[in-house]
Amino acid sequence: AQSVTQLDSQVPVFEEAPVELRCNYSSSVSVYLFWYVQYPNQGLQLLLKYLSGSTLVESINGFEAEFNKSQTSFHLRKPSVHISDTAEYFCAVGISGSARQLTFGSGTQLTVLP
Amino acid sequence: DGGITQSPKYLFRKEGQNVTLSCEQNLNHDAMYWYRQDPGQGLRLIYYSQIVNDFQKGDIAEGYSVSREKKESFPLTVTSAQKNPTAFYLCASSPRPLAGAYNEQFFGPGTRLTVL
């Protein structure tokens, strides 16, 4: 079975500073990887995904993540954060052909400070 | 607008009562899912359904039940057997993946259930 570890439960960072949210996974087969964002009392929104091809994937609001197969990681980065990036971020892994589809990490609360 | 609706947004129930959470989607997705979210634990899968009239238990199905009589609807009942039902419940849907392909899950806004 696959699993996902998000190493930091809370990440405070000042506005305009860079940030990295860490995600490691374990799986014996090929995986698909996702980052979702959740604002308070809302559902999850897809931020970006790795399915195949280029290992560096980007979102429309400046986040990027790099799939590193040897390190089994999919860390999320942004070079300069804004107050509006304050949210909880979830890493998820999926297995091709798996009916249940996704396994989620425990989440990282990103708080951007003025 | 296409999307997933969950109602109500907030729900309060007395201990020992069954309660049903609604989830409707108009995305024409085949698969639907129910997750439970607790602080610091991420999302845990309760039940999922790939087609009408079929569903499977997830990791924490005890104390919950579901039905899938229509493609667009996947209601979740929290029964009195669920020992700690207070949580945030999220419904999601996705298209049925083609062989070798993968589809993202789309989430509803959630229902916060508080059992008093």
Local mean pLDDT, 10-residue blocks, chain B (116 residues): 88 91 95 92 91 93 96 95 91 78 84 92
pLDDT in the model for residue A55: 86
> Residue B83 is encoded by which pair of tokens?
């020992």
CB B22 within 8 A of CB B37: no
> Does the beta-carbon distance from B104 to A100 stay under 8 Å?
no
Task: Tell me which residue in B40, B99, B105 faces A101 most closely, judged by beta carbons.
Answer: B105
Cis ω before A79 (30° cut-off from 0): no
If phi > 0 it is left, if psi is from -120 to 50 it is alpha, else beta; for residue B65 that is beta
Burial degree of B67 (CB within 10 A; 0-12, 13-18, 19+): middle
Q: Which residues of B touch A95 (CB under 8 A)?
A: none
Residue type, B9: K
What's the pLDDT tens digit per position in A67-105? Answer: 998 999 999 999 999 999 999 999 999 876 666 678 899
CB A29 within 8 A of CB A103: no
Size (chain A), residues: 114
Residue listed under structure tokens 């049903």: B20
Residues sharing a CB contact under 8 Å with residue A106, sequence separation 6 or more, in sequence order: A6, A9, B40, B41, B42
User: Does the beta carbon of A43 lie under 8 angstroms from any beta carbon of chain B?
Assistant: yes
pLDDT in the model for residue A41: 82
> Does the beta-carbon distance from A43 to B110 stay under 8 Å?
yes
Mean pLDDT of A16-37: 91
Task: Tell me which residue in A41, A43, A46 faces B104 most closely, judged by beta carbons.
Answer: A46
pLDDT in the model for residue A79: 97
Residue A105 C-alpha, separation from nearest chain B C-alpha, in angstroms: 6
* A51 band by pLDDT with thresholds 50, 70 and 90: confident
- Residue closest to A36 by CA, chosen among A113, A105, A112: A105
> Residue B2 is encoded by which pair of tokens?
């296409």
